[in-house]
Amino acid sequence: MPSFPSRPLARPRDDGLQLSYQLPHRVYTAKGYPVLAHNGSSIIIYGYENGLKVIWRGGRPFANGKPSAPPDKPQEKTNRGNDDAIMIIDSDDESPAEPLKSDEASYQFEDEVPEIDPIFPFESVLHQIDIPLGARVLELAVPRILPEGARSSLDHFPPILKKHMVISAVCADLSTRVVTLPLSPPHPARFEVSSWVQALSISGGVSHQDVPRGVSLAFTYQEAELQEGQDKARSQSGSNGNGPGRWDLLVATHSAESSGLLIIHRIPIVEQTDHGEVQYRLDDSDIDSKRRYLPNPAQNIAFNPSSYPSPRHSTLLVTFHSGCVKIYSCFSTKPLKVSRRTSSPQNDFGTSDTEGKWLISLYPGFEQSPNGLPRRKTIINAEWVLGGRAIMVLMADGEWGVWDVEGAGPGTVKGPLQRQSSVQGVTGGSLTAFSVSGRILSPLSGALSETGVSLTEQRPRFAPLTPHTKRVREDTLLKGATIGSTVPSLCGEISVYQTNSYRDALADESILLRHGNQSAVIPSLLSLWRNAVKVTGTFDASNRCRVSAIQGITLMGENLKGIGHLPAVSRQTCQAESGGFDTLLTAERRIIILAPRLITPDESCASLGSVNETSAVETDQLRLRRGELDVEGMDRLLSGMASGNQSLQMGSPMKRARIFT
């Protein structure tokens, strides 16, 4: 199969570069892995007609020289006949799978990243591998792992994620695949697919009988059963994930089977020791599957990004196309019936798991249908924000809003999921009020609807003067033209990436929105939220506190199918703030990356000089407005005007309104 192109089609943008990778096959879904590889490479995974493709981009390259041989181990039986194939584990088989064997010790990476080529000022493709699964991959899911700077070393972290990546995919053959492979790229000289990739297949009676529409995964911890009379301190240490027990992988899929079906698989992660090295594998012999029939087919599902032992780590967000968002607890606990006469301290809840239960239902507003009757707004996507304490939804008309479920956001108190008597985080019965909301608007020029018709051509230029056209002209005069309105779309996506440290009280996240072929970015949801609820004080009008449309994207006539964050290594760029990530866009037959342009040390010195010159000109203009500019400063301004480098600006600063669209 043709490989992923090493050189993209680079197109300059105002904020960097657009890198387009033309592919010889159709791309169905693509994701950026939330953490970097050990050598600093960004990881891109996408699904195509026959399986998965994994690309390592940027980072430290392989060291020159022949890789060293792996350490000697006792000779084992070589009775495996499928060394050149991927290890496919069927859930119906009873034979246990072998743990992954990593060859990281057999090769090394360079100590520093390579120098920037001024002709190609962007990260290059380091390595790529194909993972054939024998079926079309329709949807992908990666765990919501916090970046390295936003995660505390004291947080409970699944040990399998320290050296391996876990990917879940749903295929056209009705199966669910869980693929595990090392984070670091394999060396081309010593790469064997069978020793690097483990693919577990869930099919048959425990899977769907219809094509799955979505997948999500998370990690949980199962405590070991303690005998009565054991020390209480040991029990408490086990509840924190440090005592006896094991980590499990939760994989949730949904389909339109019957009225709607939700299946949750709990896959054990087995720890093994091989010659002093701890290895992990997914155990297919003890998979626990639970089926839950839904009132309607779900639009999308998402596990809460909180980690164990948070009680919300196993809650699942289920979005329905009919205009409803529900929160489902996969492993709810039963309250203990404790006698009132007992004086010993007791826990409020027991440790036995139930079949799960629905916690809360949230509803958006209403809109007018084409026949004039009110109807519930259509939700096309929903995602957890604020570290799993709030929910952000995107609707078909381009409106987005945030429900503060726990009352953790600015200007609110604890919400209903915290069992508070005074609830102000989420209010309303059939209509749930948003804590902060906005709308994605189409660009003022060159906007196309999903049918390919220009928005400026939807209204004729000349119309007869009738009472109806007169009313339309009056509405346009008073309310403005409809060119910048939103085109309804049933396709959309929300991507969330935390940007601040764990030391902060609230999680600050960057939000990427896709509505049809339009895309927008919220650099800081927390800053926008604070400005929305601020009553007094100075309003922050920076770009971090607004929704900015991502314009100037060249799709070559293809439809935009996905958007997401791609973590990037920290390097010197032409932008002051790169945010620590690039933007990953998915089209029909191409992968597009919006990244800042990398600069060389010489360009850095030159740009530093231009910044100093710009600051000197701004200082002269400020002194001119105050009436403090001397003759030499006036001479500099006039010289700049004569050379056309700078125009004289004496106007007052532009006043900006509180616009969140």
Angle between the N-to-C axes of helices 631-643 and 601-626, in degrees from 0 to 180, rounded to the nearest 10: 120
In this structure, is residue 631 part of a structural domain? no
pTM: 0.78
CA-wise closest residue to 314 among 285, 354, 347: 354
In this structure, is residue 2 part of a structural domain? no
CA distance 255 to 139: 12
- Can you read off the two tokens belonging to residue 229? 């009379």
Q: What are the Cα distances from residue 324, in Å, to 122, 264, 366, 402, 641?
A: 43, 21, 12, 14, 59
* pLDDT for position 636: 80
The mean pLDDT values, 10 residues at a time, for the chain of 661 residues are 82 92 95 93 95 93 64 44 46 47 61 82 91 94 85 85 94 94 84 78 85 94 59 41 76 93 94 81 89 94 92 93 91 53 43 70 89 90 94 95 90 58 52 89 54 40 55 47 67 93 86 95 92 66 77 92 91 60 95 90 51 63 73 78 48 39 44
Residue 562 belongs to a domain with what CATH number? 2.130.10.10
Domain that holds residue 317: 9-62+118-223+245-335+354-417+425-441+486-535+542-595
* pLDDT for position 205: 75
In this structure, is residue 395 part of a structural domain? yes
CA-wise closest residue to 545 among 532, 527, 521, 533: 527
Dmax (CA) of the chain = 93
CA distance 380 to 493: 8
* pLDDT for position 626: 66
Per the listing, tokens 């029939």 go with: 293
CA distance 350 to 72: 50
- How many C-beta atoms lie closer than 10 Å to residue 410's C-beta? 17
Rg (CA), the chain: 28
Beta strands in 146-229 (DSSP E): 164-171, 176-182, 198-202, 214-223
CA distance 516 to 513: 10
CA-wise closest residue to 614 among 643, 638, 589, 646: 646
Beta strands in 283-330 (DSSP E): 288-293, 298-303, 315-320, 324-329
- Can you read off the two tokens belonging to residue 546? 């607004």
In this structure, is residue 521 part of a structural domain? yes
CA-wise closest residue to 315 among 425, 426, 405, 424: 405
In this structure, is residue 45 part of a structural domain? yes
Task: Give how far the C-alpha of residue 491 lies from the chain's centroid of Cα atoms, to the nearest Å.
Answer: 16
Which alpha helices (H) appear in 385-517, and where do they start and end? Answer: 467-479
CA angle centred on 219, ends 216 and 220, rounded to 5°: 130
CA distance 60 to 127: 11
| DSSP codes, 84-140 | TS-EEEETT--SPPPPP---GGG--B-SSPPPPPSSS-SPPEEEEEEEE-SS-EEEE
Do 426 and 327 form a contact (C-beta atoms < 8 A)? Answer: no
CA-wise closest residue to 181 among 201, 206, 202, 160: 160
* pLDDT for position 195: 72
* pLDDT for position 295: 92
**Helix/strand/coil percentages in the chain, nearest 5:** 15, 35, 50
CA distance 487 to 499: 31
CA distance 517 to 645: 37
Strand 164-171 versus strand 176-182 pairing type: antiparallel
- Can you read off the two tokens belonging to residue 19? 């890198």
217 CB burial (10 A radius; 0-12, 13-18, 19+): buried
CA distance 117 to 223: 52
In this structure, is residue 93 part of a structural domain? no
In this structure, is residue 305 part of a structural domain? yes
CA distance 295 to 320: 9
* pLDDT for position 459: 43
Number of structural domains the chain divides into: 1
- Can you read off the two tokens belonging to residue 545? 């506190």
* pLDDT for position 94: 43
CA distance 557 to 606: 38
* pLDDT for position 539: 53
In this structure, is residue 628 part of a structural domain? no
CA distance 495 to 466: 47
